[in-house]
Structure 1
Amino acid sequence: MVSSLRRGWRGFCEDADVMRPFLRPLLLLFLLSARALTSDCPQDCSCPDQASIFCFQRRSASVPLGLPGATKNLYLFQNGISSLSRDDFAGLDQLAMLDLSQNQLSQIPDGAFQLLPALHNLDLSSNLIAQVSRESFSGLALLQRLYLHDNRIQSIHPEAFQGLDRLLELKLQGNQLRGLPALRLPSLLLLDLSHNAGLPPPAAADLQTPNLETLKMAGLGISQLDGELLRSLGNLHDLDVSRNQLREVPAALGEAGRGLTWLSLAGNPMGQPGPRPEDLQNLRGLLELDLSGLNMQSLPEAFRHLFPRLRVLTAAENPFNCLCPLAWLPGWLRQGAVQLGRPEETRCHFPPLNAGKVLARVERADFGCPPTTAAPASTPGSTTPPARPPQVFSTPPGTTPPPALPPPPPPPLPSDSPSSGETDGLPPPPPASPSSSGPDAMYPGPHICPSNICLNGGTCRLGGQGELECACSRGTSGTYCETREELPPPPPPRQDPPPVAMAPDLGSRQVTSTSILLNLQRFIRRRPYLRGIRLTYRNLSGPDRRPVELSVPASYPEYTLRGLRPNCTYSICAGPLGGAAGADRSCTEARTAAGPDPTAAPRTPGATPHPTPAAQLEDGRLVTALAPALAAAVLVALALAVVAATVYYLRRRRRTKGAHPDLCSDDPAPLEMEGVKAGLDNGTLPQKPPETKPASPCPWNGEYEVPLMQTHCPANNNLASLKPSYF
């Protein structure tokens, strides 16, 4: 027996000598693979793929250490970072996207990004930066988008943007700029200078940007536009001059010609009568026009013919007089060619019958228009009655003048009218109206008064000069009898059908059985000072209706709510982060699809049915931490199996060459593995048999049982669309 043990040990040593040249590179390969798989993301970060690192609310004053050199997208917003250095980004020569928004940066060190030659997008918005130096962006020759909005920038060095010849977007809104350097950016397409109260309007020499398409100058205190500037921007399509001091439509807009497709004049003190049709007649190419908050009371009917390509008209926050001259607007909107923006905020102000009503829903009969009657055809020998002069209202200062009323049509021709051969072809005058006096006899035809023109029980009648006036009852006075000493309680308002809930700022684009994709683009665009979004959602179909709150950066154009229950209705609201609860919110409802998600794995007994987003993120970190370790252990076990199988095969082969004829049999030994033999006969290494555990999607919410080794897991949102782009 001792001799048998010696022979076995000697054979094993000989086999080891034979396998030594193969084992060394094999073990080195497995060690390198295990090291690569166990390289985790930085602490408190998430790595949905090999090229992206996502660090949100990490609460650290510096950039994380040990960033992989293959990183292309690095998101470090809301981390509390207060300082930068050039060495923070050493070795990241492939980085294309860097998001440092919503941190505590007070300055940009010279050459801080010089080691990032491939950088295309740099977001430094919502920090505490006070100035931009000459070398702040040196070395960024490929930079395309630079976001500096919502900082405290007061000055920019004249050569700060020198060398950025490929820059497409530059956002400087929401700062404290006192001056703007000459921008020589030949590729620039978007420039936002809004809400810099001390910044003078740019001149043609300041913007040497021949390809500029979008210029935003809201809230700069502009009272006039520079016509030479607009002439120099021959490629301009979108112009925002809202919230300025324009008291009329600038004549310089004619210099933009037919190139403008989007124009916002909202929030300027234009007042009545508002923009005149002749001021906008050169802008026939407009697709969207914003006239909100101009304090205008009506819109001329000529607007329907001015803009043949118009698709969206916004006229919210105006005190409209819903009288006959405005009756054309709801009918025009119902034709469907033009959409009214912010319809719930476009309401009637006068008369009291229509006050508070949504303008687009007012019926034509409620505008008080006179009935239309076809005029009789003139016959030979007949004379035409004289036209009634237009009625003129005398309006005291401080009151709203009503529009001029059209002259009444001539009376219809009675059936027993005299023949054409008679000398007098005029029909007999109709009986006088009981509410009119002597002046009615001067103008043949019926007495026509718009309904509800006189208030508080007043009676409409003709005055001495042929104008309409109101005969007021006792205790009332004024042009429309609108003044009284004690106002009686108003009559109960007519019950209008409840308005349809509309959420123009918030919508859902895609719904599955467990997720809802929210569209936040319009919500973000209409709130320029938005620093974050508070999302609140709750299940309206289940017993647990407690709301769930999320904090979302203002840079998300889309956000996906995951871990929802199938076939349930959810109420979703979005509001500004940090504001008062319920202020400036936009809400919508969405229903998840029926049945389970086709890609979802079966639920594990006892799993949480509705995890919170924090639990989803924690589970994602656990899987990210355990998967590399398990993968390394599997590789080591596989290596040992290969070595043992190889040694066994060599010993078996040597035994077949011995003198004993029974050892030459082709039948495999009981302990021989079929997978190893088949793999060696084919010249390939054996493979691990596939596991029988069912596949599962990427577990972010902790609801499903999944293998520890898994493929790429997407994050809660598509990181490629985290930052809105002009394209």
Structure 2
Amino acid sequence: MWLWTPVWRFLLFSLLILPWTLCGACPKDCTCNSPQYIFCIQRRSSSMPLNLPASTQDLYVFQNGINSLQKQDFLSLSELKMLDLSQNALTEIPDGVFGSLSSLHNLDLSSNLITHISKDSFAGLVNLERLYLHNNRIKSIYPAAFKDLKNLLELKLQGNKINIFPILHLPRLLLLDLSSNSLPAPGPADLQTPHLESLKLAGLGLTDLDEGLMKSLGNLHDLDVSQNQLARMPPALKSARGLIRLNLASNPLGPLKQEDFQNLVGLQKLDLSSLNLQGFPEGFFQMLPKLNHLTAAENPFNCLCPLAWFPNWLKEKNIELGQPEVTRCHFPPVNAGKMLAELEKKDFGCPTSTTELSDSLTSSSTRSPPEATTAMQTTQAFLPLDPTEEPSTETDLHLSPEETASPSTYKEPEEYMCPSNICLNGGTCRFDEQGQVDCLCPPVTSGIYCEHLGKSQSPPLNPRVYVVATVAVLDNISSHHVTSTSITLDLHRYIESRPHIRGIRLTFRNLSGPDRRPIQLSVPPSYPEYTLRGLQPNCTYSVCASPLGEPVDDMVSCMEARTAGSLPPSHEPSMIISEPSSTLVPIIIAVAVVMAVAIIAAVVVISRRRRAKSPEDLDLGEPTPFELEGVKACLENGTGHPKHPEIMPCPQVSHGGMEYAMPLIQEQFAANNNTDARIPSYIKMQKSAA
């Protein structure tokens, strides 16, 4: 009866109505974990939710379809610290709309349709620390729009259409993201942010960095200049001594040098993706003693001996390789498509140690390949020296006769290193010390691939001595082998005239057929020949080449080629009578001997079968009926196959001390058509085209 006293009845009633009270304080179509945290997600309403509790601190109102804001929407929310209005349909921010939110620290207005920022858009937000305006349509910002945001720590404006940026005087700002806008390179007067730690300038079309800006940002640790038009390492980076993270990906940078990173001794994370790098010289990263994370994805690496040190260096220094699944070899063909980090030193085709014997002593040494005098980007022709000049070690590209006769002479592994058709007109393929392809051309040819035939010259007095001269080449494409279903393209000149292109875009169409839609393929720049297959016979094709990933404009080279007609099958039998050649006589004799042996074997088998039917000849080593029944039972109970006994074996049957070995099961090999989806597109194209 004590439960029905007035005090206990009041307590019981309070417990019953408490859940209803909490639910009643939560706005319609919202979820409230507590009165301070309210989530209004996907309400499908064009206005803010009503009856928000005054105690609300975190309010998430994203993906609602809100297209306008009013001051009264926030008048009662004086304690609000977090406001998320992202992914709505806002086109503007009314002046002073957030004026009552003096306690607000975080404001997210990203992924809306905002077109401009006015003078008082953020008036009253004196304690705001993070402002996110990315992925809008902002074109203009009032110069004094951020003047009251003295406590701002992060400002994100990436993914807009801003072309004029106001001067930022934000003394506490730590992060600024201006990526993917139409802004010019900012200078020290534009960013008066002395404590800035992270600056992101990706996709602005920058060709250089302001040295004064880098010097003024003495606290800068993170810099992203990816997807710009930097043709060289910006000298201004030498002033950014405090950098810890640097992103240089997707820039048309030329060859990288160690001195480019000489002042970045504190760098820990480096991104060199999509720079058309073919490798790194040994010891390249010695200038970066603190490096622990390296990304070098989507580069056409030449996995040759000069790069053999790289995988071991990653393991020894415990370097984390970013995106290893797309960090793959592009050349030579034996390594194409393989993950670079998984290769071992033996996979790079390095020469092994050899032993040289002499009359006086025995010594062990390792001979290195001869040094090349030019790199792959240089157009070369080999011409004889003046016979009066003495040969030097720099121009002596061949071994001496004594070394040629030595059994330990180094032989470069060209058989699987060099493509068979990369050097033309009798040129010899080899690799220089940087792993670049180099062709040793005969005296009457020139060009990087010996593709140019010159006038015949008199043989030099000293055929071992040549000098290097530069010749002019054309940049057009051509074809040198056409069949009824394929066209082989010659891209030597096109690649030679553009040594820094990331790849070639081939566009071809059938001008003779009803379907003239263009087909595009991507070809890596290290393959100077490419064959278009699966074409229609007796048709004219237009083929154009343009640099991959660059504006087309006037850098297109086109040609036309006609495929050969297919031969119709002949229905009339024809006989060709000719005298047997001397090479066919041994073949005919061999065939006759084989046929004679087969006939004799058949006669022996038939005679043995006939003798097996007589009772007196049952014990001549032939299988008994019990053995034959055992084999039949083996086939019937599922352990063998009557038509294909090699699929499922039967056990060995022993009779009379002899064993009848049944065929073993064939090993099941996995099909090799499981193409890895992580292989770069240019490798997939190459395999499918082949």
Cα distance in 2 between the residues matched to 1:471 and 1:254: 42
- 1:482-493 correspondence to structure 2 within 5 Å: 485=481
Give the corresponding residue for 2:308. 327
- 1:105-124 correspondence to structure 2 within 5 Å: 105-124=90-109
Give the corresponding residue for 2:290. 309
Task: Determine whether 1:165 maps to 2:150.
Answer: yes
Give the corresponding residue for 1:252. 236
Q: What's the offset of the Cα at 1:375?
A: 9.5
Verify the 8 A CA contact 2:369 2:412 in the aligned structure 1. no
Q: What's the offset of the Cα at 1:189?
A: 0.5
Structure 1, unaligned stretches of length 5 or more?
1-18, 400-435, 490-581, 585-727
The alignment partner of 1:331 has SS state of helix
Change (3 A) 1:277 1:484: farther
TM-score by length of 2: 0.55
Change (3 A) 1:57 1:375: farther
The one-letter amino acid paired with 2:252 is P
Give structure 1 regions of 4+ aligned residues with deviation exceeding 4 angstroms. Answer: 22-35, 373-377, 384-389, 393-399, 436-439, 442-445, 457-463, 467-472, 477-481, 483-489
Task: Determine whether 1:51 maps to 2:36.
Answer: yes
Verify the 8 A CA contact 1:263 1:288 in the aligned structure 2. yes
User: Per-residue CA shift, 1:211-233, capped at 9, x if unaligned?
Assistant: 10000000011101101001101
Cα distance in 2 between the residues matched to 1:386 and 1:177: 60
Task: Determine whether 1:89 maps to 2:70.
Answer: no
Cα distance in 2 between the residues matched to 1:478 and 1:486: 24
Task: Determine whether 1:390 maps to 2:374.
Answer: no
Task: Determine whether 1:456 maps to 2:439.
Answer: no
The one-letter amino acid paired with 1:454 is C
The one-letter amino acid paired with 2:167 is A
Change (3 A) 1:343 1:162: same
Q: What's the offset of the Cα at 1:36?
A: 3.8
Cα distance in 2 between the residues matched to 1:396 and 1:228: 35
The one-letter amino acid paired with 2:418 is C
User: Per-residue CA shift, 1:449-473, capped at 9, x if unaligned?
Assistant: 332343329999799xxx996799x
Change (3 A) 1:395 1:30: closer
The alignment partner of 1:215 has SS state of strand
The one-letter amino acid paired with 1:206 is D
- 1:209-228 correspondence to structure 2 within 5 Å: 209-228=193-212
Verify the 8 A CA contact 2:369 2:410 in the aligned structure 1. no
Change (3 A) 1:24 1:471: closer
User: Per-residue CA shift, 1:355-407, capped at 9, x if unaligned?
Assistant: 11111112212212122459999x99x9x9999963346858789xxxxxxxx
Q: What's the offset of the Cα at 1:30?
A: 9.5
User: Per-residue CA shift, 1:561-598, capped at 9, x if unaligned?
Assistant: xxxxxxxxxxxxxxxxxxxxx999xxxxxxxxxxxxxx
Give the corresponding residue for 2:247. 264
Verify the 8 A CA contact 1:454 1:480 in the aligned structure 2. no
Cα distance in 1 between the residues matched to 2:678 and 2:286: 39
Change (3 A) 1:156 1:323: same
Give the corresponding residue for 1:151. 136
The alignment partner of 1:239 has SS state of strand
Change (3 A) 1:374 1:340: farther
Task: Determine whether 1:39 maps to 2:24.
Answer: yes
User: Per-residue CA shift, 1:588-609, capped at 9, x if unaligned?
Assistant: xxxxxxxxxxxxxxxxxxxxxx
Task: Determine whether 1:447 maps to 2:409.
Answer: yes
Q: What's the offset of the Cα at 1:26?
A: 9.8
Give the corresponding residue for 1:523. none
- 1:176-255 correspondence to structure 2 within 5 Å: 176-196=161-181, 198-255=182-239
Change (3 A) 1:51 1:451: same
TM-score by length of 1: 0.52
The one-letter amino acid paired with 1:318 is N
Cα distance in 2 between the residues matched to 1:358 and 1:471: 33
Verify the 8 A CA contact 1:54 1:75 in the aligned structure 2. yes
The alignment partner of 1:263 has SS state of strand
Cα distance in 1 between the residues matched to 2:367 and 2:312: 33
- 1:23-34 correspondence to structure 2 within 5 Å: none
Cα distance in 2 between the residues matched to 1:341 and 1:397: 33
The alignment partner of 2:321 has SS state of strand
Cα distance in 2 between the residues matched to 1:245 and 1:329: 28
Q: What's the offset of the Cα at 1:305?
A: 1.4
Cα distance in 1 between the residues matched to 2:398 and 2:289: 48
Verify the 8 A CA contact 2:130 2:152 in the aligned structure 1. yes
Verify the 8 A CA contact 1:393 1:469 in the aligned structure 2. no
Cα distance in 1 between the residues matched to 2:246 and 2:222: 6
* Equivalenced residues, count: 423
Cα distance in 1 between the residues matched to 2:195 and 2:377: 52
User: Per-residue CA shift, 1:234-283, capped at 9, x if unaligned?
Assistant: 100000000001011111101011x1000000000114x2x211111111
Change (3 A) 1:468 1:237: closer
Verify the 8 A CA contact 2:195 2:218 in the aligned structure 1. yes
User: Relative contact order, CA 8 A, sep 6+: which one is greater?
Assistant: 1
Q: What's the offset of the Cα at 1:324?
A: 1.2
Cα distance in 1 between the residues matched to 2:116 and 2:270: 36
The alignment partner of 2:212 has SS state of helix
Q: What's the offset of the Cα at 1:299?
A: 1.1
The alignment partner of 2:240 has SS state of helix
Cα distance in 1 between the residues matched to 2:379 and 2:399: 32
Q: What's the offset of the Cα at 1:354?
A: 1.2
The alignment partner of 1:39 has SS state of helix
Cα distance in 1 between the residues matched to 2:190 and 2:103: 29
- 1:199-598 correspondence to structure 2 within 5 Å: 199-257=183-241, 259-271=242-254, 273=255, 275-335=256-316, 337-372=318-353, 390-392=371-373, 439-441=400-402, 446-452=408-414, 453-456=417-420, 479=449, 485=481
Cα distance in 2 between the residues matched to 1:583 and 1:322: 18
Cα distance in 1 between the residues matched to 2:11 and 2:375: 102
- 1:595-674 correspondence to structure 2 within 5 Å: none
Give the corresponding residue for 2:391. none
Q: What's the offset of the Cα at 1:40?
A: 3.9
Aligned residues: CA RMSD: 4.2
Change (3 A) 1:353 1:112: same
Give the corresponding residue for 2:493. none
Q: What's the offset of the Cα at 1:297?
A: 1.1
Verify the 8 A CA contact 2:353 2:366 in the aligned structure 1. no
The one-letter amino acid paired with 2:329 is C
User: Per-residue CA shift, 1:185-219, capped at 9, x if unaligned?
Assistant: 111100000000x2111110111111100000000
Quote the sequence identity (%): 51
Change (3 A) 1:293 1:438: closer
Q: What's the offset of the Cα at 1:443?
A: 7.0
User: Per-residue CA shift, 1:311-364, capped at 9, x if unaligned?
Assistant: 111001111111111111111122251011101111111111111111111221
Cα distance in 1 between the residues matched to 2:356 and 2:239: 45
Verify the 8 A CA contact 2:95 2:118 in the aligned structure 1. yes
Cα distance in 2 between the residues matched to 1:80 and 1:398: 61
Change (3 A) 1:469 1:319: closer
Cα distance in 2 between the residues matched to 1:365 and 1:318: 22
